[in-house]
Chain A
Amino acid sequence: MRMGERTFSTTNYLRPGLRFPFCPGCGLYALSDAFLRAVFELGYDDFRKFCFVSGIGCSSWIPSPYYLADSVHTLHGRSIPVATSIKLLRPDLHVVVFGGDGDVVGIGMGHFVHAARRNTDILVIMGNNMIYGMTGGQVAPTTPLKTRTTTTPYGSFEHPLDAAKLAAVAGANYSARWTTAHQKELRECFKKALQMDGFRFVEVVTQCPTAYGRRAGFKNVGEMLKWFKENAVPVAEAEKMGKGELESKIVVGEFIQRRRLTLVESVYAVLREAQKNA
């Protein structure tokens, strides 16, 4: 089929009769839209070749049960180990994990680092709203310093985590960060990640007007998106900047792209070896 003959429609990818439950203006609509368009542009008309795994939180609700696909909605922080066995047993499928920053690099941090180390062949998409959204706006490991949240009424006093950088250092084949104000880049990034093997991490800085924006002093969603756009610094530029200069910036772009031995490759090599000698 020629590309021109296909037209994008979300209905091919969404479970009929259901609607996303996100707040008005939530960035997760845009995150999902960029992902679905990437899937479409790669030529997939449905999710037959996909399996989605997610944790607990608003971001984790994107695929479950809204995507018309096999989806496994796990516990808070536990999506990655579940995705690991699924990918090993069904290496023919794209196994895609959705989760929030609390889910993936808070409670689920151990699994995240180890999956990057193993170079587990899954794509992890983290909606980073810099807050615990679903539970009503508590401080997260990604909350910028001095931000007021429900559990930091005097301002956050801990350093936030750079998850995209961590994935790169820990061994991922691919790691990138964009924001919901970068729809085109985000879509291209998803497309690229979906065509690679090994551990791929895409961090999407996303606006949570309800639990973050209001308290952090943003008047509306537009202001948040403007903040994302104006404070986004490409990786290459950030490397030239001092630590102090970067404090309020969002570094965007690719942190790593490489071809390292992946978990699927290693596990199947072991299987072949063991069966040869059996």
Chain B
Amino acid sequence: MDNKNGTRTFLQGSEACVEAALIAGCRFFAGYPISPANEIAEHMAAHLPKVGGIFLQMEDELASIGAVVGASWCGVKAMTATSGPGFSLMQETIGWAFMTETPCVIVDVQRVGPGTGQATKCAQGDVMQARWGTHGDYTAVSLCPNSVQEVFELTIRAFNLAEKYRTPVTLLTDETTVHLREHLVIPPLESIEIVNRKKPKAGEQVFFGLESVAPMPSIGEGFNVAVTGSTHDEKGVRFTADPVTHRRMIEAINNKIRKNLDDIVQVESYNIEDCKVGIVAYGITSRAIYEAVEEAEKRGVKVGYVRLKTLWPFPEKPVQKLAENSEKIIVPEMNLGQIVNEVKRVAGYTEVVPLNKIGGGELITPEEILEKILKETK
């Protein structure tokens, strides 16, 4: 791509995701057909081989995410894309990726659930699954775009964070966002920051469990690396009963995320220093808040908002600030209340009011948010 001054295009969210993944250096994709994530796999199947990357359609989602982790251990940036039911099937392996500190990107295009739900309709029901979907103690990283431009930016960021912190990263998007067609500006390639994992030097033997993020060898480089999802020491040797080894390992792989929140957490905020009512929103739903805020202000209600670009780890600080400076916080979500509980957790005495809508892919509209603002400030 020749884009010295950047390229302005018009793309679907799914295309922007693939374009970004390729720019980020993704060279392996494995997936299993599922609406509404199919377009991502289809674009990958077409474009990945052209840049020397491998695309595989596997027999199921368990195989897809497994192949992704295997690819990452060959030193190749790898990704999969799925939706609710497939995301559920992947959870055990996502936990394995946390435990083995494997960088990889999982795109979850949310649709209506539970069960098969409404396969082609937009929802935001996988928020807690992205955080707590697999068993055990871990700190999930999830990014949540609200436009085609942001799908592009956050896909690259997902790869960068995965590589930097050696951890799986979920791009938690939704049916509407990946099917949107919008203008996208692809910046000059040399201006895009691309992060690659830290590699060990010859002779190094510590590959796991460092808060500072251990260097990651690849298969076939002569390091004799032992990768295991069982509790292991810094060299990868299993210790399936020793409490000390387990605590040390788990604390390290959690702390490498938790001690770097300033680097990982991103929000867009407005008026959080001083407003009457606040809004916390994310993903497709957050597109409705701009108009609602404008209309509320015309009616003399001062509104602030925090839009969560990083969903996990939860952006506590900006939400806390919003809570300190507002009387109420409204949390619109296309589920029956998920992030609202995180907001309540950090909001202190500020009242937190949910605004929920599910089913049929019907989005929460600016009018509905405005109405809620006016009602709550009456």
Contact = CB atoms under 8 A, between A and B. Distances in A.
A73 B63 contact: no
B70 A71 contact: no
B228 A65 contact: yes
Contacts of A68: 224
Nearest to B50: A278
A65 B236 contact: yes
A208 to B, nearest CB: 19
Contact of B219 (A77, A86, A270): A86
B219 A81 contact: no
B226 A73 contact: yes
Contact of A270 (B28, B49, B67): B49
A255 to B, nearest CB: 22
Nearest to B72: A85
Contacts of B226: 15, 64-65, 70-71, 73
Interface string B44-76: 000001111010101110111011111101101
B49 A85 contact: no
Contact of A89 (B28, B63, B230): B28
Contact of A271 (B52, B69, B229, B232): B52
A77 B93 CA distance: 11
A72 B227 contact: yes
A169 interface: no
Interface in B92-140: 92-93, 96
Contacts of B238: 64-65, 73
Contacts of A5: none
B270 interface: no
B111 to A, nearest CB: 24
A90 B224 CA distance: 15
Contact of A75 (B56, B60, B96): B96
Contact of A84 (B67, B76, B225, B236): B67
Nearest to B66: A81
Nearest to B222: A48
What is the interface residue range for chain A against chain B?
35 or more
Interface in A242-270: 267, 270
Contacts, number: 129
B68 A85 contact: yes
Contact of B70 (A48, A53, A271, A278): A53
Contacts of B74: 85-86, 89-90
A206 to B, nearest CB: 21
A81 B67 contact: yes
B219 A70 contact: yes
Contact of B58 (A71, A74, A81, A267): A81
Given A70-B223, A73-B228, A75-B93, A83 B70 contact: yes
A92 interface: yes
A19 B230 CA distance: 17
Contacts of B96: 74-75, 78
Interface of B: 28, 30, 49-52, 54, 56, 58-60, 62-64, 66-71, 73-74, 76, 78, 92-93, 96, 219-220, 222-230, 232, 236-238
Given A89-B70, A93-B220, 18 more contacts: A15-B226, A51-B220, A65-B236, A65-B237, A65-B238, A70-B220, A72-B70, A73-B238, A75-B92, A75-B96, A77-B62, A80-B63, A81-B66, A85-B66, A86-B71, A93-B219, A267-B56, A275-B49
27 contacts: A15-B226, A65-B232, A65-B238, A70-B223, A70-B225, A70-B227, A71-B226, A73-B238, A74-B96, A78-B63, A78-B66, A78-B93, A80-B63, A81-B30, A81-B67, A81-B70, A83-B70, A85-B54, A89-B70, A89-B71, A90-B74, A110-B62, A111-B63, A267-B56, A271-B52, A274-B50, A275-B49
3 nearest CB pairs, A to B: A274-B49, A65-B226, A81-B66
